[in-house]
Amino acid sequence: MKIAKPLLLVTTPVGVLGGLIEAYRLTGGLVILAAAMVTLLSVAAATVVLTVRREAAAGRTAGSMAPAGSVTAQMEKLT
């Protein structure tokens, strides 16, 4: 994991940028569609991450008031 995480953090944006450059080279308008798709997926991922963090923070402040089978209660067991 020491090598994999930094490698992914570097190669992923480089690959996306390379893909956008190739989309521009292939057809100028295609880069607009590719950029829109990348933006949409980024917003969706960020929304999921923020929702999980918000629910985890609410679970920590509420204590053990969450039902035993809920995701928040399971996350509390892990931390």
* Full pLDDT tens readout for the chain, 79 residues: 788 999 999 999 999 999 999 999 999 899 999 999 999 999 999 999 999 999 988 888 876 555 555 666 666 666 6
Q: How many domains does the chain have?
A: 1
> 11, exposed or middle or buried, with CB in 10 Å at 0-12, 13-18, 19+?
exposed
CB 28, CB 45: distance < 8 Å: no
pLDDT tens readout for residues 28-42: 899 999 999 999 999
Residue 79's pLDDT is what? Answer: 63
- The CA R_g of the chain, rounded to the nearest whole Å, is 19
Which H/E stretch holds residue 28? none
Q: Residue 26: which domain range?
A: 4-78
pTM of the model: 0.63
